[in-house]
Structure 1
């Protein structure tokens, strides 16, 4: 591919310097010297040779047909049987019906049929359930990266051939320099002839290099017209020199690089054809003199549809078909009356207007094209797996990458984009032109708390009043303008209600606007230049919505430039670069070189094993590599017996993952500020320990579980009498000034300051003399106190203010029922020994519950996505969202092995792979990796060597902690090992 593109750019450069230079490369199908061509040609009668030059229209779903009864399958079959037509161009329908019809039509045809489609932006231009690539105008915004357009052409070729299609009537090589053009517009790569040429060339080569015939269109240039040739004959009034230097330029480049086909438009061009009202399709000076002889084009020459008013208005009843061949056309597309056309062509032969030899030459050319396309070895289209084959994941990746590169920022007052200070923003999103929360809004919500509003195409006054009342509370509005039409015929679907409301939003001076539609639509948006920030997304798709939202938050940069001049405010080439600032990007496995089907199958198998064996009622799996979230899926239900399905946004009790997502994070922060020294002793930051057996324990050893601390104290047991009743004065069943803190819901409250009793218990607990490795929770219960002593700020406020709110990780919280309803929170254990209730929204760990739900060892709740944000900051050595929130030195110090010489695998707070595999970490994890598990069924793991980030959330303790199959089955580590194994292939 690189060699071909290099030659193409060389040819293009030559043409830029010398307009008359011709370095023509012949089309790939010519002069193949095929015995098959000779044999078939010799078997054809004169009439059948004419018929090979006719291509008729067909639809696979007549109920959706917009092109008349002649395209009905029964009528097409009749034309094949009786008139022996040479080809079919398919329009409306679906893949399987079209494939079946193709097989049938091919089976009854004397000569294999050349099957064509208008698939400028993919097969989806004509049929459902297939890939839709970006419009050419969108691709015109891409700067460089023509390899992506080449890849698109290659993929489209494979999809077309899989469907039994041999020619795509593409690319559009028209230069669109008329904003009011009703027929080209978004179908063009833009107004710059060089950019149009290079992108059309990449697209053409991608298709032809992968075995698909092409047909550039609409020669000699349909871009500067205000009339649609479907309904009338457009007039192009430019001079010959202007046409030669501008409109013809891309076509010359394509011809000189082996273009296989050219479609001629129905245009009146007095500078090239002086006969009034004679369309270019019927003009010998244009088709033969200019295209064939002057430009040296040897490929197939196709007419635009011969039923269009641009030709039939002045030349009805089959006369135009004969005149087209007389002008030099090779194939007549969409002939209205085949029998009449053949008769008119025969009359032209008899009158000497065209010779039989010329008909024969063109017939052989058609047969050569068929042979090159594989019709000499025709095989039926296989129906098995057709939908799957026509929708490959690689096509989705190409779609995503092209969309990403095209997105264009046109306004950016004060460098507002990408959004940085999330902790200072209260954001509302408003989608205009939709009836429900949009994809754009859902993706915005991945990055921080965003409240969503939406407005239909024709909003009522009451709807607008209600929304405006709410919006006053926000200091940033992120607005999506969802235009339902790409065409200027109906003002792009924009209503006065939509535009009026957008104007009001912009007038607040706090609106970021993304326009999902044709760039020319900016002329119809009254107040758009006053928007604080403006993103042009070029069209309304799931990809443009998803990736525009990611651009807003700096997960991806803005690199696109306007491919056309919209008005004096938005000129050709306008586009402001905005950087990526290290936030998570959401994509598919193919972007990191993995196969969606393979990893999906393998992870599903492990997760479903966990559900099937009742290792957990449900779980959430999220994986990222290189900062790109490529897998995010929920499995199962909240409970075995319930009906509520797990969602990826659900909050889980993170148990001991609190240690390294909250406590260790706070300590790293204090270490950065030189307020916390790992080599000082416990008494230095907890003076009450001065006279205890813990006074001289060094924090580095404490945090690596090697200071000899007791593993755990069952404080809840110490609050009970032998019969299981609570000791007097510790708990109350009602809240009061003396019992203010809930232990579980509204049914049990603990005495004020009882936390001091817990601290006393830790102070008085024994210390193991040899200080060997013993995993201990005890010090982590103390870290909230350490943080408060060193900062004067309570633990939860400190980490939320300094980290979670800055990261947009707002679901990370203690005591989540303060902020979330229970349907968002996954339940844990049915407590039958202490709190005597189903735990739901309260921390599972008993000690943390007795501390009011806020502890350094347990108590944190959150979603997988928000947990991953913290861990991505770790992987990025403290950087996230454009800010260095922790130092690189802190991450390196806290995540390295501290005492490997004595066999201690721990970092500071973090767990690390054991030196001999013990399943505490994924089997293939690198020595630089780190993470932690949580008692409730949680695992987080980060691997800098592979740039992998893994979050697994489950409630394996439901209904009882006695079930430990999640570890016995290696569910958590097994899922991450799938990724390692696939990456190592």
Structure 2
């Protein structure tokens, strides 16, 4: 008995291979070898009708009524079909429906989907990867396409899907192709074969059956087979030279499945109006015998006009099996199809052996897919599992590799315009066409510098257009986004006459850099691009293409892509200009640097929730970067405990003592580079008024490391009060008049000469004989005077013109109410003693307020993002955005321990970790790290060892500086430590695979 079972199993296995004859080497699809015992057992228990039913795949929708689902259940139960292909719906609904359907089948069904760009092609709440045309532009990273295939496989299997009808192996050499077009990798047969192979292998290697389509090639037709039967008039030699090339390559590599297209190809079968799906010469003679394909042969959907126009349902299904197909997709009339097949067997047009061999092949595929040990789809965390951060990372990386620069004019300096350099010299506007509201493109542009945004949609009034035209005249550069919401040739790729006219007008200004978010064939319909200064093809309209195109313009990422198709004489296949990255921040997700976003976000959210509930601060912003990439940026809480204004990522905060390393220290570093400032000179060398003072011989290196004996601070304002509480003469007045010009609040003005008193008070203050470490504000009040004397510029002007504006850090400013609305600024303390008002939009520090809001120790305001640009410049040894702001040697000198032998933890201006943890720095910070904290609740930290930068913004002094929980709880440094922990954890196995480069 055991011997006979073995013989029967061997015979069954042999029957799966008997027809796989080929004259060239071919890898046999691996699924054919799966669990022959199970295949044998299940097959032997089937009736002849059930074996026919295994070759039928019905259509399914998970976005329809319960009545529809019940009727589908009855259909599956009655006919015991072999599979179902889903077209529309959502993951939870589909999973539940799959589980229901599988309960009424004796043999679990194969579940399929058309997921050419992932599950998102058919299902909501799932991942949409780039179109194949987009990936056709990728040059060196086809490994990413393989990894995308692996991700599609993981997600499909998680949802109970076993087959993906992908990849498209058609070579699209017809720009007017209405059905393939952007679904193809392009017009180069070798590139199509190479990229389709990567996608196929990625899926198959990770447990998902695939189906190449649309055999023998649907790329050169002007007819959509969904609505008619296309005619392919090429001769056999032409077909061999182009259309069949990718299919041969992938079949030889072990393709699991091939889908037959509904095409009429006289060179292959001269029968009039015969679709290739019903042609034995195409399916059996060419595909199976000549090309040696032994996997599953699927029909294209049998409800399409390409087949039903001439052959009714049932008859067409029977003819398809007669032609040699294994699986009929989307059979409309199942009972008639089964009856027709049975009659064909009776008539001798089909043999039972043919049906049996194909049934066994389907069963082998089921065993390979795991249906020999079927388990229902687990609904727990399904949507989260289907939207893994690794997939977003893949989306970003694929998009980045594809972006293609097609034009890049030179600047007067001879440098290419893209990436943009010298931001401080350009006034920039963005114009998004066919977009009524601010776009992802515009929001990302705004991360790099000040950009004024304009939006023009179909409904934009002529009066508005007139105003926009007038305003745009004031700008030096126009960053134009063409947002095409349709990618199909039948609707002109979404290009409207209004878009064409407006784009042409913008290009004629000679100031436009145009990014096209749409089908590359749309380039032929966009007039005026030859007059643009730069042209970027992004291939489709997604958040990723918009954001990354903006990042490319500013040099955060390079351009590497090339056109995969020829559009016209101007734009040809393989056109593409490489650009460079220039050290600006890239905005991405934690996974790109090997960090788990779930871990990072959950831990930081938890700590910030503690801060909010403990009233350590009303709100705050956390921003982190690693390897030059911003991986975390999030706002928490509200502006005040009583208010309803939520904190936003781009809110402006009073930086308090972070001002020291953002203004004074910064300026001194540049002056050291210029040979104008010597750290080992004395105070008297640069402050003539101090030559007769007790500070004349103090060395600047000692002063900047807080070990020169200076007092910690002086409360200047307390000396302006009389014993009765009134103001002393020539100090303050409640009205602005005469010499009382320095505005402290709306109702308090300081005498202009009192500034001199402040400097004299510092000059005459005592100096301790003990040169112990004592943190002092006093010297930082003096540095603006030194900088102004050495540069012949006002302190603020010097910083803005030489650093902030070229960095694109345009919100870094003193006295921000001059430039920004009050609601964008976060209030600090209610000052009940000196100013007797809520300090909001003005500097919190009293001394800086008395200096007109401009000082070297406090007074700077800014957003977390702009502050991070400065911080990142320090991390990059003085380099950012293509410009060396400070020499690497000077950055190194200022950020190293100066006097470790004395137990002094300071660098020059910068704070550094203590030798024994005290909370001033992150617990896991390296000795190379440096930063500074601010009294109002701000904090920055840079760690070269881990290549990280960190900015923390808060207003912990609201409503009173007596609120110290932010400090006692170590919120700022504990949040920083989460990043260190996340880095130490390392990437997951899936993520590590994505990050690995070939």
TM-score of the pair, normalised by structure 1: 0.96
Residue 325 (structure 1) aligned with residue 350 (structure 2): no
Residue 22 (structure 1) aligned with residue 18 (structure 2): no
Task: Tell me which residue corresponds to 1:677.
Answer: 678
Query: How much does 1:462 deviate?
Result: 2.5
Query: How much does 1:736 deviate?
Result: 2.5
Task: Tell me which residue corresponds to 1:603.
Answer: 604
- Counterpart CA distance in 1 for 2:269 and 2:156 is 36
CA contact (8 A) 1:844 1:859 kept: yes
- Counterpart CA distance in 2 for 1:834 and 1:527 is 62
Task: Tell me which residue corresponds to 2:41.
Answer: 39
Query: In the TM superposition, what whole-angstrom CA distance separates every residue of 1:75-115 from its partner, at most 9, and x where no partner exists?
Result: 32222122221110001111111111101110011211111
Query: How much does 1:614 deviate?
Result: 0.4
Query: How much does 1:454 deviate?
Result: 0.6
CA contact (8 A) 2:26 2:254 kept: yes
Task: Tell me which residue corresponds to 1:4.
Answer: none
**Unmatched runs of 5 consecutive residues or more in structure 1:** 1-19, 64-68
CA contact (8 A) 1:440 1:480 kept: yes
Q: Within 5 A, what are the aligned runs for 1:225-236?
A: 225-236=221-232
Task: Tell me which residue corresponds to 2:108.
Answer: 112
Q: Within 5 A, what are the aligned runs for 1:435-446?
A: 435-446=436-447
Query: In the TM superposition, what whole-angstrom CA distance separates every residue of 1:770-823 from its partner, at most 9, and x where no partner exists?
Result: 222111100000000000111111110000000000000010000111111110
- Counterpart CA distance in 2 for 1:502 and 1:33 is 61
Aligned with 1:73 (options 59, 65, 69): 69
Task: Tell me which residue corresponds to 1:54.
Answer: 56
- Counterpart CA distance in 1 for 2:149 and 2:175 is 27
Task: Tell me which residue corresponds to 1:615.
Answer: 616
CA contact (8 A) 1:562 1:575 kept: yes
Aligned with 2:177 (options 175, 181, 184): 181
CA contact (8 A) 2:730 2:754 kept: no
CA contact (8 A) 1:588 1:596 kept: yes
Query: How much does 1:135 deviate?
Result: 0.4
Q: Within 5 A, what are the aligned runs for 1:47-446?
A: 47-62=49-64, 72-414=68-410, 415-446=416-447
- Counterpart CA distance in 1 for 2:922 and 2:98 is 51
CA contact (8 A) 2:35 2:367 kept: no
CA contact (8 A) 1:464 1:501 kept: no
CA contact (8 A) 1:458 1:498 kept: no
- Counterpart CA distance in 1 for 2:26 and 2:887 is 59
Residue 860 (structure 1) aligned with residue 860 (structure 2): yes
SS at match of 2:76: helix
Query: How much does 1:470 deviate?
Result: 1.4
Task: Tell me which residue corresponds to 1:979.
Answer: 979
Task: Tell me which residue corresponds to 2:756.
Answer: 756
CA contact (8 A) 1:626 1:948 kept: yes
- Counterpart CA distance in 2 for 1:529 and 1:104 is 58
SS at match of 1:30: helix
Task: Tell me which residue corresponds to 1:837.
Answer: 837
- Counterpart CA distance in 1 for 2:926 and 2:378 is 45
Task: Tell me which residue corresponds to 1:733.
Answer: 734
SS at match of 1:750: strand
SS at match of 1:620: strand
- Counterpart CA distance in 1 for 2:111 and 2:725 is 82
- Counterpart CA distance in 2 for 1:437 and 1:790 is 44
Task: Tell me which residue corresponds to 1:921.
Answer: 921
CA contact (8 A) 2:669 2:886 kept: yes
Query: How much does 1:33 deviate?
Result: 4.5
CA contact (8 A) 1:716 1:834 kept: yes
Query: How much does 1:389 deviate?
Result: 1.0
SS at match of 1:91: strand
Task: Tell me which residue corresponds to 1:524.
Answer: 525
Query: In the TM superposition, what whole-angstrom CA distance separates every residue of 1:519-556 from its partner, at most 9, and x where no partner exists?
Result: 00111112222211011000000111111111110000
Query: How much does 1:317 deviate?
Result: 3.7
Bigger Cα displacement from structure 2, 209-218 vs 346-355: 346-355
Q: Within 5 A, what are the aligned runs for 1:701-740?
A: 701-740=702-741
Task: Tell me which residue corresponds to 2:13.
Answer: none
Task: Tell me which residue corresponds to 1:784.
Answer: 784
- Counterpart CA distance in 1 for 2:736 and 2:25 is 89
Task: Tell me which residue corresponds to 1:15.
Answer: none
- Counterpart CA distance in 1 for 2:37 and 2:445 is 61
Query: How much does 1:21 deviate?
Result: 7.5
Residue 943 (structure 1) aligned with residue 943 (structure 2): yes
CA contact (8 A) 1:167 1:214 kept: yes
SS at match of 2:636: strand
- Counterpart CA distance in 1 for 2:33 and 2:962 is 77
- Counterpart CA distance in 2 for 1:765 and 1:458 is 67
- Counterpart CA distance in 2 for 1:22 and 1:447 is 56
Task: Tell me which residue corresponds to 2:772.
Answer: 772
SS at match of 1:783: helix
- Counterpart CA distance in 1 for 2:705 and 2:109 is 74
CA contact (8 A) 2:35 2:368 kept: no
Task: Tell me which residue corresponds to 2:3.
Answer: none
Query: How much does 1:661 deviate?
Result: 0.7
SS at match of 1:603: helix
| Root mean square deviation of aligned Cα | 1.2
CA contact (8 A) 2:431 2:480 kept: yes
Residue 954 (structure 1) aligned with residue 950 (structure 2): no
SS at match of 2:321: helix
Query: How much does 1:466 deviate?
Result: 2.2
Task: Tell me which residue corresponds to 1:11.
Answer: none
SS at match of 1:55: strand
SS at match of 1:29: helix
- Counterpart CA distance in 1 for 2:280 and 2:461 is 57
Query: How much does 1:459 deviate?
Result: 3.6
**Unmatched runs of 5 consecutive residues or more in structure 2:** 1-21, 411-415, 986-998
SS at match of 1:74: helix
- Counterpart CA distance in 1 for 2:338 and 2:320 is 12
- Counterpart CA distance in 2 for 1:958 and 1:124 is 46
Query: How much does 1:458 deviate?
Result: 4.5
Query: In the TM superposition, what whole-angstrom CA distance separates every residue of 1:702-738 from its partner, at most 9, and x where no partner exists?
Result: 1111111111111011111223322122111222341
Q: 1:103 to 1:502 in 2, by over 3 A?
A: same
CA contact (8 A) 1:910 1:930 kept: yes
- Counterpart CA distance in 1 for 2:96 and 2:212 is 28
- Counterpart CA distance in 2 for 1:653 and 1:500 is 46
CA contact (8 A) 1:814 1:859 kept: yes
Query: How much does 1:498 deviate?
Result: 1.3
